[in-house]
Structure 1
Amino acid sequence: MKPHAELDTLVIGGGVVGMSVAYGLARAGERVRLLDEGDDAFRAARGNFGLVWVQGKGLDRPAYARWTLAAAQQWHAFAQELAQHSGVDVELSQIGGLILCMDEAELAQRAAGLAAVRQQLGQPYPFEVLDLKQLRALSPLVGPDVAGAVFCPLDGHVSPLRLLHALFKSFQNLGGELCAGMPVEAIEQRGGVFHVRTGHTEHVAAKLVLAAGLGNRVLAPMVGLEAPVKPVRGQILVTERVQPFLRHPSLHVRQTGEGVVQIGDSKEDVGLDDGTTLAQLARIAERAMRCFPLLKQVNIVRTWGALRVMSPDGFPIYQASTACPGAFVVTCHSGVTLASQHAGALADWIQGGTEPADISGFKAERFHV
C-alpha cells in the first residue's frame, strides 16, 4: 500500500522563486508546505534589484525571450492578484525601462542585440533607440556623458521586499504552511512519496520542488537531478531619500517608491563572499554619477553584496526527475521578472499539467553536450 502523504507538495526554498511556486500551487488548491533555511542562507532575494525586465534577455535563446516576455506581460494582473490576497502593494511601476549607453558604439551594439532577438522571435518585441535629446524627454536629468539609451515599454520594477511579503501573506492566507529555520538534511523517495528530514522532523509529500538557490547543488542529486549553479556577487549602493527624478528605471539605477536610489553594476566570481569592496563600489558610483550628475550631491546610507544564482550559461534550470517522479528542480537568477510565470504556467506543470514548451530546453543535460 502506498504510504499516506500528508502534503500534496513540499517546496524547499523561501526566496522569490520558491515563494512564487508555492503561492501558485496553494492558489490551485494544493496542500503545500514551504521549508526555508532561514536568515543564515545566502539569499539572492536580499540583494535583488527589483527589476521586471525584458530587454536584452534571450539573445540566441528565443524560448527564453518568449518566457520572459510572457512573464512581463502578466505582471500587472499578478500584482493586482497579490494585493487582493495579501493587502500588500508591491509598488509595481511598469511604464518602460532604459539601458543607458555611454558611447555610440555601446548604443549600436545594444540596438543590434535587441533587433536580433526580435528577428529570432518573429513576434512583437517593442523597443526604441533614443539619442540624448530623446532620452532627456523621458529622463531630463541624464548627464551629458550619456550618448543615448534603449527604451522598452514592457520593463519596470517592484519593491523586492514588498514582493516577498506579499507572496508570504498570500501563500499563508491560501492555507499554505511556512516552516522557517529548517535546513534540509536528507531526502528519500519511498513507496512513491518523499520523506524529507529537517532535524528531528520528517515531512512527507507526494511531490517535491527544489527552489533553494545555491542549495540546489547539494539537494538535487538526492532526487536524481543536477543543479550546477554557482554564486556571482553583485554589489549595491543605497542613497538617502531624494525628490523623485527617475520615473523610468535603468538597468543599473532605479529610484524606489520611498525616494531612495539603488545603484548596482557588478558581476563578480568570488565564491561565497557576499561582502563589498571599496574598488567596486567606487566604480559603480562613478558610472552612476556620470549618468545622473545630481547623485554627486546625494549621500550613500548603506551598501551590501548579494550572491546571484547562476547556471553555466546564465539561463534557468527547470526539470522533473525521472529517477524520482514527482521531484522538480527550479533555479534561475531572474526570480522577480519570472515570478508571474513561476506562479502560473510553471506551477500548473508541477501540479500535473503539460510542461510549457518554452522551458523544455532548460534541463541540466544541456551542460553535458
Structure 2
Amino acid sequence: MAEKDVIIIGGGLAGTATAFYLAQDGVSVTLIERGGLGGEASGANAGSLHAQIPADPFRHLGEAWARQFQPALTLYVESLRMWGSLEAELGTDLEIKFGGGLMVATSESEMAELARKAEIERAAGLEIQLLTREETRRRAPYLSDRAIGGAFCPQEGKANPLLVAPAYARAATRLGAEILSAQGNATITREATHYTVTANNQTHRARRIVIAGGTGTPALLEMLGLQLAIQAFPIQVSVTEPATPFIPHLVYCAGEKLTMKQTRIGSVLIGGGWNARIDPRGRPVVDSDSLASNLALACAVVPGVASLTLLRTWAAFVNGTADWLPILGPLPGSPGAFINYVPWLGFSGGPAAARALADMVQGRTPSVAADFAAFAPK
C-alpha cells in the first residue's frame, strides 16, 4: 500500500484542478474517481464562465443576501482571471472565449434591479456596464424587441466543459500525480494520523484527504461523521445544430430562466436552470414541460434560434447550497481532511477554488484574493 501526501476523492473540475495545483507544488497526490473524469456536473454543464450575481436569488433573497455573497463574487473574479491563462498553463485548447456576458432586461423594474445589483458587483471587482435600449440593440442585434436594456460584463465568457477536467488530469499526471478513474464508490477510514481510502479493491493511505465529490460529497462526509448543508438539483440543457455565428455573448435574462451561448462550431446551448425530473432509480432525466417552456422563451428573446434544429437535451445534477456560498477548507473535527465544494457556479469558480484549497492543504495562506473565512465548513 503506497502512501501519498494527499488523496483526492472526485475527478471533476474541483478534484482534477486541485490535483494539478498540488502536483505543481511538488506534493505527491492520488486522485480517485468513481466513474469517468468530468463525467458528472463538471462535464454536463453548459460551459458558462460567469460571475454576475444571478437575478433569481437577488430578487428572492434580497440585497442583504447579495452583500453576504460578495466574497464569492471576489473568488469568481479571480477565477475568471485564471481562466484567461489556463490554456497556456495546461498546454491545450479548451475552447475558451471571453465575449462578455449580457444580462437582458425586459422591463423597467428589471433594469432597476440590475442597477442595484451592479453596485455590489462593482465593489467585488466586476466590470459592469448598464446599457440603454439603444446600446443593447447596437451591441446585441440578435435580441428581440423585448430587450429594453441590460448589464454587460466583459470579463465573462465560455469554455468547453467536456475538455477541462481531462486536461487538468493530464497536466497533473505529467507532474507525477496518480489519477485513477472508474474506481467505483470509495470508502474512507480515519486512523490515528492517516486516512485510508479503499476503492476498486485497492487501498490508499495519506495523512491528508480532499473531498471533491460534487453531489456525492454528503455520502463521503458521512464516513467522517459529518453533515453539511449541501444540496443537489436536477436541471437540463439543450443544444442545437451548428449555425453561422450570431450570438457572441453569454446571454442571460434578468426576469426569466434563460441562458444562451454559441459554441465554436456554431451550436447554440440553451439553459437557465430549468428543472429536470428524477426517475425511479434516482437519475436526472429530461422534463418535457420544462423543455417546451425553455425553448419558447429562447425563441422569444433570440428569434434567430427558432429556425434551428434541436439535437439533444440532457439532464444532470447541479451542486447547490442555500446561501450560494462555496464550502472550502479544513473539515471540522477531522484533522487533515479538506473539502472543495463550489455550488451553482462551480465551473466558473473551479480554478481559483482549487488553487486556494491546494494552498490550504499545504498549510499556506491562499494565494487567491478572497475572504475564505466566509467559505469555512460549518
TM-score, with length taken from structure 1: 0.89
Aligned counterpart, 2:33: 36
Query: How many Å apart are 1:40 and its aligned residue?
Result: 11
Distance 1:25 1:135, change over 3 A: same
| 1:70 aligned residue (67, 78, 82) | 78
Aligned counterpart, 1:90: 94
* Runs (5+) with no aligned partner, structure 2: 55-64, 253-258
Q: Assess if the C-alpha contact under 8 Å between 2:6 and 2:209 holds in 1.
A: yes
Query: How many Å apart are 1:167 and its aligned residue?
Result: 1.2
Query: How many Å apart are 1:226 and its aligned residue?
Result: 3.1
| Aligned-partner residue type, residue 79 of structure 2 | A
Aligned counterpart, 2:182: 181
Distance 1:203 1:41, change over 3 A: same
Q: Distance in 1 between matches of 2:331 and 2:120?
A: 34
Aligned counterpart, 2:355: 344
Aligned counterpart, 1:284: 294
Aligned counterpart, 1:303: 313
Q: Distance in 2 between matches of 1:124 and 1:191?
A: 44
Query: How many Å apart are 1:295 and its aligned residue?
Result: 0.9
Q: What whole-Å deviation, never above 9, does each CA across 1:29-76 have from its counterpart, x for those lacking one?
A: 111111111159982123211111121168222211211112122221
Aligned counterpart, 2:15: 18
Q: Does 1:49 align with 2:49?
A: no
Q: Assess if the C-alpha contact under 8 Å between 2:77 and 2:125 holds in 1.
A: no
Aligned pairs for 1:1-369 (under 5 A) are 6-39=3-36, 43-56=40-53, 59-60=66-67, 61-83=69-91, 88-118=92-122, 121=123, 124-251=125-252, 252-268=259-275, 272-333=282-343, 334-354=345-365, 358-365=371-378
| Aligned-partner residue type, residue 265 of structure 1 | G
Q: What whole-Å deviation, never above 9, does each CA across 1:136-170 have from its counterpart, x for those lacking one?
A: 32222111122222101111111111212311221
| Aligned-partner residue type, residue 363 of structure 1 | A
Find the residue that maps to 2:229 and give its secondary structure.
Answer: coil
Q: What whole-Å deviation, never above 9, does each CA across 1:178-212 have from its counterpart, x for those lacking one?
A: 11122344212223111111142111112100000
- Of stretches 126-135 and 206-215 in structure 1, the one that deviates more from structure 2 is 126-135
Q: Distance in 2 between matches of 1:219 and 1:147?
A: 47
Q: Distance in 2 between matches of 1:342 and 1:266?
A: 23
Find the residue that maps to 2:32 and give its secondary structure.
Answer: strand
Q: Distance in 1 between matches of 2:37 and 2:22?
A: 26
Query: How many Å apart are 1:133 and its aligned residue?
Result: 2.1
* Runs (5+) with no aligned partner, structure 1: none
Find the residue that maps to 1:143 and give its secondary structure.
Answer: coil
- Of stretches 267-276 and 282-291 in structure 1, the one that deviates more from structure 2 is 267-276
RMSD after superposition? 2.3
Q: Assess if the C-alpha contact under 8 Å between 2:32 and 2:181 holds in 1.
A: yes
| Aligned-partner residue type, residue 238 of structure 1 | V
| Aligned-partner residue type, residue 256 of structure 1 | T
Q: Assess if the C-alpha contact under 8 Å between 2:7 and 2:29 holds in 1.
A: yes
Q: Distance in 1 between matches of 2:126 and 2:322?
A: 26
Q: Distance in 2 between matches of 1:164 and 1:107?
A: 37
Query: How many Å apart are 1:324 and its aligned residue?
Result: 2.4
Find the residue that maps to 1:171 and give its secondary structure.
Answer: helix
What is the aligned-residue identity percentage? Answer: 28
Q: What whole-Å deviation, never above 9, does each CA across 1:254-283 have from its counterpart, x for those lacking one?
A: 001111000002243856441111111111
